[in-house]
Structure 1
Amino acid sequence: MDLTSQNKQWLLDKLGPSDDLEHRTMKSPTMSLELLFITNICDSVVIREEIIQPFFQMNNEIDFENYLLSFPGCDRPASNVDSLNKIMSGFVAILFQDHILLFQAAQIKAAALSTAQVEATIQGPQTAFSEHIDTNLNLIRFRYKNSSLRVESREIGRLSRSKLCLLYDDMNVDHEVLDQLKKKLDQIKVDNLQSVTELHQLLTKQKYTLFPTFINTERPDRAILNISQGKVIIMLEGTPFVLILPAVFFDFYSAMDDNYQLSLVGYFLQCLRYVALFLSLVLPAAYVALTAYNPEIFRVQLALSIAGSRASVPYPAYVEVLLMLGLMELLLEASIRLPKSVGSTATTVGGLILGQAATSAGLISNIMIIIVSTVAISNFVVPVNSMSFAMRIMKYPLVLLASMLGITGLVLGLIGMIAYLTNLRSFGVPYLRIFFYRK
């Protein structure tokens, strides 16, 4: 085996197997050579017009090589590692009989990108995934220039025939999880698949589950971070969101801003989110339990103040809480469905008018307005939206238990929720596992 063949085999071993790796042989009556490049980060028009067409117009290899070297982006590699790094940056490796040339053909699809709408950040990258899977692959490849990154493509959906890609780092990924995922994908038989959230439901063991076991994100930086930590990314054509798996509970309460801020600031923000989680879950149920069953826990002054604010309320505390939480859910849903130009204004004004009118009419207490506002604000602290919906629903079972058993019911409800979370698995990974990442 000559030196060029050894170099070629070394590059193929490092880069493949990957569905976006192109290895092509070109032959003419006078010469023969091979091309090696990554399709998602190279411009096919440049390759066709600057390499392939001139190849068939040249009479010999020397003239073709001199023609290529006349381009400013073409050069001979210093080593195999240099060849590998440049291929990962959008170069085309042109393999002659006894040497290699690297030709600059990178294509950055920045025009098709937009800013993140759901997971906003202050100091980090602002771009989000698009609905075109090739653009998303281009974005990942340019930001994660590691030769162990693998891309596997397949079609899913009998009628839609949607393109689906798996991305992972072959050196870090848990291959048992990867094999299990591939088996589950092969077992999926559906007609249409339009969103990764549909795929999430199809891949989940439990038919009815409340807590998400995969991360649904629109941020490329979050996807790249999780690839480097050994997780698998699922991309689907036609949606700007990707799935990250496996995922544990603590992943849903970590934002990308935690990495971009100073370390102490990041820890403070994480603690703040868990405080918000506790408030959004416990506060409504605790209000019901303490006002209806266990008022002795309060100081006398606070107990009298709450009792005075509820003096005109004609129904029990749990009815008051359920009524206000229901109105809050209606306002949140209306803010999503209304046109953006009027949505925020209509819901803000509606909330103020309803709260003030209900308080003046004696239908709810003043402290109830404070509790509902705190719960609403705490719900929006969750960085990943799918977990926010789960926590919005979990309040209601706790309120019902507190209305029947007081503080005891609240404690039993929290213990039951923790037991349920402990039993959950995300492709074999315990849901409440704290240290999942591979370093």
Structure 2
Amino acid sequence: MSGQLHKQGVTLEWIRGQLSGFGDLEDKIMAVPSGEVSLLYIKSVTDGQTISRNVVAPFYEMGDPAAYYSYIADYPGSEEVTEGTRALDLLLSGYACIGQAGRLCFFDALKAEVSGVKETITESISQGPSDALGESLAVNLNLIRRRYQSSSLKMEFTIIGNVSKTKVAILYDESRVNHNVLAELKEKLDSLKLDVLQAAGELEKYISSDKLRIFPKTIVTERPDRVVFNLAEGKVAVMLDTTGYAIVLPSIFNDFFTAMDDKIHLPFVGRFLKLLRILGVAMTLWLPALYIAFTSYNPEIVRVQIALLIGGSRATVPYPSFVEVILMMIMMEFLTEASLRLPRAIGPTATTVGGLILGQAATAAGLIGNIMIILVSVVAISNFLIPLNMMSFSIRVLKYFFVVAAAVLGLVGVVICLVGFTMYLCSQRSFGQPYFKLFFLDTLGTTLRKKSGGE
């Protein structure tokens, strides 16, 4: 917070200066022939009907600013304040400020959005808050403000779309944000020439600098607690009206494997769960490719018993292992897409029954080996360990590159593809930030800095 906090004699001008950059700040002057009063409040956390009914209407009915101020000061829940920190805390927590003749009184007008707030669907959590962002920008800003009551949280608004006129809010903590990232984002938003903008994922595609990227470089989330956590980390959030998702940037590779449960569990447990997700990604990428390599090119690497087991399961399969893997992977993609597109009442049942029947019939007919069924099931389950769908979809596509490389060059192709994959990640940037910065490197760097500072 800039400036000195007033212990006494806090003024409206000082409050306005502290709240500069608040796009949802309402600053009005209510005047009658006998005088005027000032009214300040933050729209996203205050109830407009309460303000209109209990603050604005009584002023014009009474017509006397001094008597009106006494009425507000005596109202249950109101509080006269002379200290700067207290004044800002009340405004950020849903109070309206009424100023008259140098005196300030704060009126409780908190708006708590309860009805209309739904539970999360795409990002489930075992502990913690379960509310999700909605399609109303005002409701979403209320959910964020209630969790992040800081005067350094700024909101800026803009309009995108010549036809849709979509209202877009940019949220950031002024004391923590990287201003280079913020400037780059504003430049990209100002340069957009669109007719219709309806979804956060659509905007994410336009603001990305790399149009041919494989991995997402911004997080699209429906969780307000994830947005608040990232704002506290110095990141920027972009929220759209009419959509229940927010964009968080910049985002690195490690962020997509972090679930909000990790912040609630014990540190060791959280790290272990994240390690499981990374292991699941490795299995999703490598298992089909390694199956092809060990079956068709390099069977001498595995134990003899395993090689004989694989050979026995494929004794009746009439085509190469590459065709077997591709066939089963595409069949699994069909089932996954069907589970997403079918109505929720029948989707899980239809895909589960379909998968069981197809798998059993294929193995009984000798078209697919038993080990291949196990492998595809493990790959499908491992892919669902990723908390954010955007990265999960990218991994689903990327595993086909490894399969093709294994089919052409065997184990050498898998190694080449892995090296190329790592080099690609190391070369990427998300709004200027290294994309492949790993979480344990941050911890190591912090430890080294502390030791060097102590010495």
Q: TM-score range by the shorter chain?
A: over 0.9
1:299 maps to amino acid: R
Mean CA deviation greater in 323-332 or 204-213 = 204-213
Give the C-alpha shift of residue 4 in structure 1.
9.0
Please say if 1:7 is aligned against 2:26: no
Equivalent residues in 2 for 1:325-336, closer than 5 Å: 325-336=329-340
Please say if 1:211 is aligned against 2:215: yes
Q: Tell me, what secondary structure is at the counterpart of 1:352?
A: helix
1:215 maps to amino acid: I
State the match for 1:152 in structure 2. Answer: 156
Among 280, 286, 305, the residue aligned to 2:284: 280
Mean CA deviation greater in 325-334 or 68-77 = 68-77
Give the C-alpha shift of residue 3 in structure 1.
11
Equivalent residues in 2 for 1:175-214, closer than 5 Å: 175-214=179-218
Give the C-alpha shift of residue 5 in structure 1.
8.0
State the match for 1:21 in structure 2. Answer: 25
1:390 maps to amino acid: S
Please say if 1:377 is aligned against 2:410: no
Identity of aligned residues (%): 45
CA-based RMSD: 1.7
Please say if 1:239 is aligned against 2:253: no
Q: Counterparts of 1:184 and 1:4 in 2: how far apart (Å)?
A: 44
State the match for 2:393 in structure 1. Answer: 389
**Residues 18 and 152, structure 1, Cα contact 8 Å, conserved in 2:** yes
State the match for 1:406 in structure 2. Answer: 410
State the match for 1:430 in structure 2. Answer: 434
1:24 maps to amino acid: K
State the match for 1:114 in structure 2. Answer: 118
Q: Counterparts of 1:21 and 1:287 in 2: how far apart (Å)?
A: 60
State the match for 2:367 in structure 1. Answer: 363
**Residues 4 and 95, structure 1, Cα contact 8 Å, conserved in 2:** no
State the match for 1:248 in structure 2. Answer: 252
**Residues 93 and 103, structure 1, Cα contact 8 Å, conserved in 2:** yes
Q: Tell me, what secondary structure is at the counterpart of 1:109?
A: coil
1:280 maps to amino acid: T
Q: Counterparts of 1:3 and 1:271 in 2: how far apart (Å)?
A: 49
State the Cα deviation string for residues 11-33 of structure 1 (Å, max 9, x = none).
Answer: 12222221101111121111212
Q: Counterparts of 2:417 and 2:404 in 1: how far apart (Å)?
A: 9
State the match for 1:39 in structure 2. Answer: 43
2:164 maps to amino acid: S
2:57 maps to amino acid: Q
State the Cα deviation string for residues 208-257 of structure 1 (Å, max 9, x = none).
Answer: 22210000100000000000000000001111011000000000000000
Among 308, 313, 325, the residue aligned to 2:312: 308
State the match for 1:84 in structure 2. Answer: 88
State the match for 1:138 in structure 2. Answer: 142
Q: Tell me, what secondary structure is at the counterpart of 1:37?
A: strand
State the Cα deviation string for residues 393-419 of structure 1 (Å, max 9, x = none).
Answer: 011110010011111100100111111
1:152 maps to amino acid: E
Mean CA deviation greater in 207-216 or 408-417 = 207-216
State the Cα deviation string for residues 110-160 of structure 1 (Å, max 9, x = none).
Answer: 111000000000011010000111100011011110110111011101100
Q: Tell me, what secondary structure is at the counterpart of 2:215?
A: coil
1:292 maps to amino acid: S
**Residues 317 and 368, structure 2, Cα contact 8 Å, conserved in 1:** yes
Equivalent residues in 2 for 1:120-131, closer than 5 Å: 120-131=124-135
Check 1:4–1:99 CA distance in 2 against 1; reply closer, same or farther (3 A cut): farther
State the match for 2:228 in structure 1. Answer: 224
Q: Counterparts of 1:197 and 1:36 in 2: how far apart (Å)?
A: 35
Give the C-alpha shift of residue 44 in structure 1.
1.3
1:289 maps to amino acid: A
Q: Counterparts of 1:340 and 1:57 in 2: how far apart (Å)?
A: 54
Give the C-alpha shift of residue 63 in structure 1.
1.6
Q: Tell me, what secondary structure is at the counterpart of 1:26?
A: strand
Q: Tell me, what secondary structure is at the counterpart of 1:24?
A: strand
Q: TM-score under structure 2 normalisation?
A: 0.94
**Residues 3 and 98, structure 1, Cα contact 8 Å, conserved in 2:** no
Among 288, 295, 300, the residue aligned to 1:296: 300
Q: Which runs of 5+ in 2 are unaligned?
A: 1-5, 447-455
Give the C-alpha shift of residue 79 in structure 1.
1.4
1:338 maps to amino acid: L
State the match for 2:70 in structure 1. Answer: 66
Q: Counterparts of 1:368 and 1:316 in 2: how far apart (Å)?
A: 12
Q: Counterparts of 1:329 and 1:166 in 2: how far apart (Å)?
A: 36
Q: Tell me, what secondary structure is at the counterpart of 2:39?
A: strand
Q: Counterparts of 2:65 and 2:188 in 1: how far apart (Å)?
A: 49
Give the C-alpha shift of residue 6 in structure 1.
5.3
Give the C-alpha shift of residue 95 in structure 1.
1.2
Q: Tell me, what secondary structure is at the counterpart of 1:233?
A: strand
State the match for 2:174 in structure 1. Answer: 170
Q: TM-score under structure 1 normalisation?
A: 0.97
State the match for 1:354 in structure 2. Answer: 358
Q: Counterparts of 1:87 and 1:6 in 2: how far apart (Å)?
A: 13
**Residues 7 and 82, structure 2, Cα contact 8 Å, conserved in 1:** no
Q: How many residues matched?
A: 438
Q: Tell me, what secondary structure is at the counterpart of 1:160?
A: coil
2:368 maps to amino acid: I
**Residues 4 and 100, structure 1, Cα contact 8 Å, conserved in 2:** no
Q: Counterparts of 2:393 and 2:89 in 1: how far apart (Å)?
A: 43
Check 1:3–1:272 CA distance in 2 against 1; reply closer, same or farther (3 A cut): closer
Please say if 1:337 is aligned against 2:341: yes
Q: Tell me, what secondary structure is at the counterpart of 2:308?
A: helix
**Residues 4 and 98, structure 1, Cα contact 8 Å, conserved in 2:** no
State the Cα deviation string for residues 63-108 of structure 1 (Å, max 9, x = none).
Answer: 2122113321111125111111010000011111121101001111
2:124 maps to amino acid: A
Q: Counterparts of 2:308 and 2:382 in 1: how far apart (Å)?
A: 27
Among 165, 190, 197, the residue aligned to 1:161: 165
